[in-house]
Amino acid sequence: MARTPRLTSDCTACCWIPLFALRCEEARRPELAARPCALLDPEDARRLWQVSPLARRAGVKPGLTVSQAIGLCPTLRLCEPDPVYYDAQFTRLLAALSDVSPVVEPAELGRAYVGTDGLERLYGPPDKQVEAIQMRSAECGMRNFNEWSFAARNSHENSAFPIPHSAFRVGWGRGKFVAWVAASRAKPGGAVIVPPGEEGKFLARQPLAVLPLDPDTHRRLRQLGLRTLGDLAALPEEAVVSQFGRAGRRLWRLAAGVLVESVVGREAPEPIVAGLTFFSPVADREMLAHSLEQLIERALKHPRRTGWRVQQVRVRAELEHGASWMIEAVLKDPTAERSRIAAPLKTRLEQAPPAKAVERLAVEFTGFAPGTAELQLFARDASAAARAGRRRALERAVREIALRLRRAMLYHVIEVQPWSRIPERRYALIDFEP
């Protein structure tokens, strides 16, 4: 099956709603806005996930245990998370943004990038484009919801986006990083526009914390006396690379405003959903795991999946007393095998099971990969097929190590001066790039 080219855009608008899940709860229950409140972690009900500004003033922070939070703020209102509802509302927002531009890329819950290349012909300059995005986001609905069903969460009919328009922050700039920093500096309900050519000037005043840094790299940069992106960009690029490797090169280019990361539009068929309603609520994990495999098998037989392999899968559950539960998994290798799809989901089920009995369970295939990547089909002999398999396994392992450690840890050994009498000069190490 031929791959359809993806739409991309360099000019970007970042739409951001801080504390998206908590905002959804406050919209459903307006009384929460006037008192300190917090959402429990969906994967660990003993800890806090998102905390309101009123609770932060009392010293409550995300990650604290419930007992610690209550000790700091006895009037704290704790809310059970409803991830299915939050995901449905975010999907509604993405649909609204898609009416402005065909290039929309979700980043995380409550934050999405909109490609604006070519929109000047429809809306005019950047400020008019931002105005169109804000207007369309506001038009997707303002009503609150007190009663809703599991089926209604997955439907776009008779529902609306509940978060007030004043919660939206928009940043416009060239590339996703500039747009994100601009959105983080915008006031609630406002926008910050970075004109083309002024990226370096705008970024120079921003703190290092806006960069995608791991704690160790951030500590090392602070120890070097760097406080702002301008401080980092003032250093020679090669000096930063010598200290931090390829990751340092990317950080320097982001800080200097010379790296433009394009918005990539989503390319996938419509999601495939298979659901099951239990006659009586189920809390047994083995029964849930078995039902999960049955739903995956049913979804794999859907005619729309023909020619596509599954790459991203989501499990939703409606729990007793109106709560919900959701887990997601991105497969390292797209597949159409039930066992390989079910394996990471069953692991997540064991690690973070539903807090209550399940009344309805649904499996949704949300990401797909076209065609096939099985190189063995074209191998000339069995040894070539084996070498191709080992190479792919090595590449997967290297990518996983890089994702976990955020730096290159594997190297090639190459001959430099094999005739040298000094062993250190005979060979050199270079980063391994799969």
pLDDT recorded at residue 269: 64
Q: How far apart are CA 113 and CA 182, in angstroms?
A: 12
- Whether residue 1 is predicted with pLDDT greater than 50 in this model: the reply is no
Q: How far apart are CA 294 and CA 352, in angstroms?
A: 20
pLDDT recorded at residue 383: 54
Residue in 343, 389, 326, 416 with CA at minimum distance from that of residue 85: 326
In order, the DSSP letters of 313-340 are EEEEEEEGGG-EEEEEEEEEEEE--HHH
- Whether residue 260 is predicted with pLDDT greater than 80 in this model: the reply is yes
Instruction: Report percent pLDDT > 70 for the chain.
Output: 82
Q: How far apart are CA 90 and CA 106, in angstroms?
A: 9
- Whether residue 278 is predicted with pLDDT greater than 80 in this model: the reply is yes
Find out whether 165 and 138 touch, Cβ atoms under 8 Å. yes
In order, the DSSP letters of 167-218 are G-EEEEEESHHHHHHHHHHSPTT-EEE--TT-HHHHHHTSBGGGS---HHHH
Helix (H/G/I), strand (E/B), else coil: 365:
strand
Per residue in 198-216, pLDDT (tens digit) is: 999 999 999 999 999 888 8
Find out whether 35 and 294 touch, Cβ atoms under 8 Å. no
Residues composing the chain: 434
Quick one: angle between helices 285-300 and 338-351, nearest 10?
Answer: 150
The residues that bridge with 37 in the sheet, in sequence order, are: 77
pLDDT recorded at residue 143: 37
Helix (H/G/I), strand (E/B), else coil: 159:
coil
- Whether residue 4 is predicted with pLDDT greater than 50 in this model: the reply is no
pLDDT recorded at residue 408: 63
Find out whether 7 and 265 touch, Cβ atoms under 8 Å. yes
Per residue in 368-427, pLDDT (tens digit) is: 876 544 443 444 444 555 566 667 677 777 777 776 666 666 777 777 677 777 776 777
pLDDT recorded at residue 154: 42
- Whether residue 57 is predicted with pLDDT greater than 50 in this model: the reply is yes
Q: What are phi and psi of 9, to 5 degrees?
A: -155, 135
pLDDT recorded at residue 3: 46
- Do the strands 358-370 and 272-282 form a parallel or antiparallel pair, or are they unpaired? antiparallel
**CA Rg value for the chain:** 24
pLDDT tier for residue 265 given thresholds of 50, 70 and 90: confident
Per residue in 129-186, pLDDT (tens digit) is: 999 998 888 776 433 333 333 333 444 334 445 565 567 899 999 999 999 999 999 9
pLDDT recorded at residue 6: 64
Average pLDDT, the chain: 83
Q: How far apart are CA 203 and CA 182, in angstroms?
A: 9
Find out whether 359 and 320 touch, Cβ atoms under 8 Å. yes
Per residue in 280-337, pLDDT (tens digit) is: 999 998 999 999 999 999 988 887 777 778 888 999 999 988 889 999 888 888 888 8
Per residue in 69-92, pLDDT (tens digit) is: 999 999 999 999 999 889 888 988
